[in-house]
Every structure is written in C-alpha cells, then in structure tokens.
Amino acid sequence: MRVALGVEYDGRAFSGWQTQPGGNTVQDKLNQALSRIAGHPVTTLAAGRTDAGVHALMQVVHFDSDAIRPLNAWVRGVNAHLPPEIAVVWAREVSDEFHARFSAFSRSYRYFLLTHPVRPGLTAGRVGWYHQPLDVAAMRAAAAVLLGRHDFSSFRAAECQAKSPLKDLQQLDISEVDGLLRFDLTADAFLHHMVRNIVGALLYVGRGKLDTAGMAALLAATDRTKAPPTFMPDGLYLTGVGYPAQFDLPSQAQAARLTLWR
C-alpha cells in the first residue's frame, strides 16, 4: 500500500528535512515514527527538501508499507511518536503512480518579514526581521520582472543539485499589514535557496540599493556572485504542493490550519 501524508513542522529544532547521519532531521524523526506504527523500516519521499530553520505548513510525503493500518493510525498513531514540533495532519491511500516529488506540478512558499526597529521576541525564529521600513511599492515593481519562466541561476545556491535552473515563477505577491510583510510565491519547482535569495534581493530594492532595472539585470546575469546575500530562513514556510485532481489529495484551501498564518 502507498500512503501520502500531509505534514507540518517547525524547522527551528532540526537540521532541515533531508536525512543525515546525525539523525536530527524532520525526515529522520518521521521515518522513525512511521516505522514504529508499521512494524518495519519505513522510508519517506517528500515533495521537496527544506533547509534548517525553514518551516512547513503543508509538506507532502509518501511511503510504501505492507502493514494494514487504518488511516487514522498513520495520523494520530504516528503523532504519538513524533516530537511536538512535527505533526501529520492527514493521510490518504494513493495509487502506485503517485510520487510526492515527481507527481507535483507546483510548490508554494510564504515568507513573513517583520520591519521594526526592535527584533522580535515572541515570533523569533518564525519571521524574518529587518530593522527599518521598506519601500513596498518598489519591491512589488521589481518582483514583477521575475514572473514567468527564466533561468534563475542568480538566485541559486552553489550546492543546488537541480538539473536545470529554468523555473516557472507563477506568483510573487507582496502584502503588508502594520509592518509585517508577506511574500507569496508559487512555481513549478524551486532551486535551492531560491526563495530566500529572491527575498534578499527584494530587501535590497526596499532599501533603495537596487531598482527594477537592476533586478532585471540581475536575473539576466545568471550569476549568483552578482546577487545580494541569502536572507535568513526564519520566516520561510512551505505552504502547499499542487497535484493532479486524480490523486484526490487535500487542497491548500482544505488545510484549515493554514488560516492561522493568513
């Protein structure tokens, strides 16, 4: 049987998603918990990796098991063996054609950035922070030049393992409420550090150190060394993964827990 899971986690306590020898990753903890319920070793495959300190409101994974368990066991049963920072929020039996990574046609991320003279306390590690106001109108104008299918090498980490830097950025919206900026991004897929590098470049725009023409030139340069630094991971959330309707997985709209961060 192949099972798909929706998983949320606070990334601050872990060394990212991908399993590592030290064992302190989200994937390691999830595999261990699933193995206890299944009664045999379980290995998960995810829609995409997240870095240390990056969170997920809706990561999607799948695994195979011969164990016959009610779907609720893959949710409540597994959660009983997970650390409090990780929770399975739904489980679905899927066909063997489903693959959490290769069946996905889009990924969505959200970045929260607090602009305030004083660093946050209560939301530390859950929002990014910059100590001065930013020109949001200029940031929106510069963001528009990134939409569409482009070579995003200027926003790609050196250690990125993607086969191609060509990605289709379908959404890049910026909203602001009382000094809290929210960046919503959707693409067919993202390069390693791509969202954090885009946010870092837009921060330069908001500070007046880069304009729309400069952003276009940066994109065209396809050279990471010409771009601003990678921004902090604290405010970054994987918010959803798009799949064909045939797999009948919960949509982002159905994941009511997302309303906490809208």
- Write the pLDDT tens digit of every residue in 171-198: 999 999 999 999 999 999 999 999 999 9
pTM of the model: 0.93
User: Looking at the DSSP assignment, which residues form a beta bridge with residue 177?
Assistant: 180
Give me the pLDDT at residue 83, please.
97
**DSSP state for residue 178 in the 8-state scheme:** T
Which residues are catalytically annotated? 51
Burial of 245: CB neighbours in 10 Å, binned 0-12, 13-18, 19+: exposed
pLDDT of 254 above 80: no
For 8, the 3-state DSSP assignment is: strand
pLDDT of 216 above 90: yes
For 122, the 3-state DSSP assignment is: coil
Strands 128-130 and 106-115: parallel
How far is Cα of residue 55 from the mean position of the Cα atoms in its chain? 7
pLDDT of 1 above 60: yes
Q: Could you report the per-residue pLDDT of 110-150, keeping only the tens digit for each? A: 999 999 999 999 999 999 999 999 999 999 999 999 999 99
* Average pLDDT for the chain: 94
Report residue 106 as tokens: 């889009």
Report residue 171 as tokens: 């959404």
User: Looking at the DSSP assignment, which residues form a beta bridge with residue 187?
Assistant: 107, 169
User: Looking at the DSSP assignment, which residues form a beta bridge with residue 168?
Assistant: 149
pLDDT (average), residues 149-163: 93
Report residue 260 as tokens: 């906490």
Compute φ and ψ for 195, nearest 5 degrees.
-65, -45
Give me the pLDDT at residue 32, please.
97
pLDDT (average), residues 195-219: 97
- Inter-residue contact 181 to 112 (CB < 8 Å): yes
Rg (CA), the chain: 19
